[in-house]
Amino acid sequence: MSSEGFLKEVQAIGEKFLLKLQKLPKAEPVEIISFSVVLLFIVTVLVLMIIACSCCCYSCCGCDGHPDSRHRKSQVRPAAH
């Protein structure tokens, strides 16, 4: 998919979303609740993705962007009997 096609698709989705928001005050309670649940789900997924990415980057790169040697995995060897 070209970037131009992608931008048109994002614009179409944005327009549908704005249209849905404009119709929301006149909507039935069930439609308002379902729209809120979908919106809450999308926001939750985005927040969890941001948290996961930030934790992953922090644990492997540290704050300054350099790899952190303290968190290297060491091999566990069986004890000799």
Q: Where are the beta strands (DSSP E) in the chain?
A: none
Structural domain of 8: 2-54
Between the two ends of the chain, the Cα-to-Cα distance in Å is 61
Domain count, the chain: 1
What is the chain's Cα-based Rg?
Answer: 23
- Residue 63 within any structural domain of the chain: no
Lowest mean pLDDT among 12-16, 21-25, 37-41, 71-75: 71-75
Arithmetic mean of pLDDT, 55-60: 72
Residue 32 has pLDDT above 60, yes or no: yes
- Residue 78 within any structural domain of the chain: no
* Cα(49)–Cα(59) distance, integer angstroms: 15
Arithmetic mean of pLDDT, 61-81: 63
- Residue 41 within any structural domain of the chain: yes
Band (pLDDT 50/70/90 cuts) for residue 75 is: confident
